[in-house]
Amino acid sequence: ARPVEPDKIRRMLEAARWTMSSYNEQPWRYVVASRHEDPEGYEKILRCLAEGNRAWAEHAPVLMLSFYETTFSHNGRPNRSAKHDLGAASAALTFQATAMDLYVHQMAGIRTEAIREAFDLPETVEPMAGLAVGDLGDPEMLGENRQESERAPRSRKSLGDFAFGPEWSAPSDIVADE
């Protein structure tokens, strides 16, 4: 429930701003609202999240939505790197938040049509994700099924599952001894 200071939000967005991008296009866009500073904007974003995400995201002091421009501004052609660039910007934003002892939970569960309508998006802008920002929450405040998921051990694929050598799906020799 502790508010996130506006300066910290700006620093997170500054980290996103300085992320590399194809042709320096910087195709990312964010809508940001603090429950404490802009309750109306906060509710507008909250209504754009999928129902399962709303149940717990409503406790975060800051909500964001991320977007990307689908075309290059210099020639109007499709920007196939835009999603990658937005992901990099959101990662930089997340790393900055972590350095300030904040947590960012990115959510693919968004209502894209509701977002398009609520924010009157241009055709060349696509919604990508929701982001909840704040202190680490207590799993006790979640429903029982979500508590179990939140407390479950985290697992990741091995390096050999995604770092290949010259043969597709064969682990690179560099990671084979993992």
Blockwise average pLDDT, block size 10, the chain, 178 residues: 94 98 98 96 98 90 98 97 98 98 97 97 97 84 70 87 92 80
Predicted pLDDT at 142: 67
Please tell me the distance from the alpha carbon of residue 171 to that of residue 133, in angstroms, as a whole number. 36
Query: Which two structure tokens, joined as six digits, stand for 62?
Result: 């800051």
| The pLDDT value given to residue 144 | 72
User: d(Cα 57, Cα 34) in Å, to the nearest integer?
Assistant: 12
User: And the tokens for 127?
Assistant: 């919604």
pTM, whole model, 2 decimals?
0.90
pLDDT at 177 (0 to 100)? 66
